[in-house]
Structure 1
Amino acid sequence: MVENIRSLEPFKSARVILAFCPFDGEPDISPLLEEILREGKDLLIPKVEHDSMKLCKLRSLENLAPGSFCLLEPTQCEEVEPELVELALVPGVAFDLKGCRLGMGKGFYDKILGRIRGFKVGVAFSFQVFEEIPCDPWDQRVDAIATEETIIYRR
């Protein structure tokens, strides 16, 4: 999966990348987090505060600690606006071939993804990708899905 993400042109060219710390069976993309920091790119990690999610610039993986929902989150937050994100790596419970994403139900990512102009990649295992899943008008779509087997571009 990590290799498939690395092969994406938007991953190679992006300077501001939104990623995530894996939670509860989500794909482990931590090698990419280290790589992004090592290459001097801006790594953004979500932080949930109250009923919203903000994007925090992370300078070191040592600045992560369990936060909301026991997710690893930045201990300090230099907030970055979603419009500046060039590549978003997004977890999900399920994705479909049209780019629809089913999340955990709080809508945090949908609110942020609607403001991101950059390339959006769902990160999932192959068994999480379906021909079609229910998709509401407010659900934000991804441009591609990276699995352990391949990259699937949205139809």
Structure 2
Amino acid sequence: MHDKHQLRQTIKQLKRALTSAEREELSRRICAAIESLPGFDRVSRLMLYHALPDEVDTRPLLSRWSTAKQLYLPIVAGDDLVVAAYDEGAVKQGAFGIWEPADDTAVDPSLLEWIVVPGVAFDRRMNRLGRGKGYYDRLLRQTSARKIGICYGLQLVDEIPAEPHDIQMDLIITENDIIYKNNEPWH
């Protein structure tokens, strides 16, 4: 088992080795895998995120689906994340330099069907290691939406030290793998 701080540092170094072209290609493949999931065509309320430079870029999904689906993004509000409707033409830079909806009217997270979640690392037992602030864990507790962790393959590790407050994913996607919780594919 790795120490969380050490694991974050190791993953950070591995991601630094990726070129921008590699990150773009891997992100494209991961976004395509999301679109190929059973039920994606039926999902109408989907929460994505605007990526930090070292995260899987979800902009392809934001542009392709902004009119066909109701998309949402998280907004950092103090120590929490709130959910707001995404409008492609109305975003602003928020906390940590993350692009957020300009209209910060909060939406009830229980209305979401799927949530695409970034992470520093994931393991095959569906555990997620975030940046250490607990933002997503607090948000994910408020919804029964399917939780889809996405990451580059190099962020998939053998074991993440999980704690009782950590929320597990229902599915993890890398550029090469789709890992279902309990190995049970969705229908």
TM-score above 0.5, yes or no: yes
Structure number with the higher helix fraction is 2
- Kindly state the Cα deviation for residue 124 of structure 1 after the two structures are TM-superposed: 0.3
Q: Does 1:47 align with 2:71?
A: no
Which consecutive segments of 4 or more residues in structure 1 shift more than 6 A?
none
Q: Is the 8 A contact 1:47 1:74 kept in 2?
A: yes
The aligned residue for residue 138 of structure 1 is: 165
Alignment gaps of 5+ in structure 2: 1-29, 183-187
Cα deviations across residues 38-83 of structure 1 (Å, max 9, x unaligned)? 21x1111000122221000112x22112110111111112321111
Q: Does 1:14 align with 2:43?
A: yes
- Kindly state the Cα deviation for residue 17 of structure 1 after the two structures are TM-superposed: 0.5
Q: Is the 8 A contact 2:46 2:113 kept in 1?
A: yes
Greater Rg over alpha carbons, structure = 2
Q: Does 1:70 align with 2:109?
A: no
The aligned residue for residue 156 of structure 2 is: 129
User: Residue type matched to 1:52 in 2?
Assistant: D
If the length of structure 2 is used for normalisation, what is the TM-score? Answer: 0.78
Aligned-partner Cα distance in 2 for 1:150–1:19:
19
Query: How many residues were matched structurally?
Result: 153
Structure number with the higher strand fraction is 1
- Aligned-pair identity in percent equals 35
Cα deviations across residues 92-141 of structure 1 (Å, max 9, x unaligned)? 00001111111111111001111221211001000101121100000001
- Give the alignment's Cα RMSD to 1 decimal: 1.2
The aligned residue for residue 95 of structure 1 is: 122
If the length of structure 1 is used for normalisation, what is the TM-score? Answer: 0.93
Cα deviations across residues 135-154 of structure 1 (Å, max 9, x unaligned)? 00000011111111121112
User: Residue type matched to 1:54 in 2?
Assistant: V
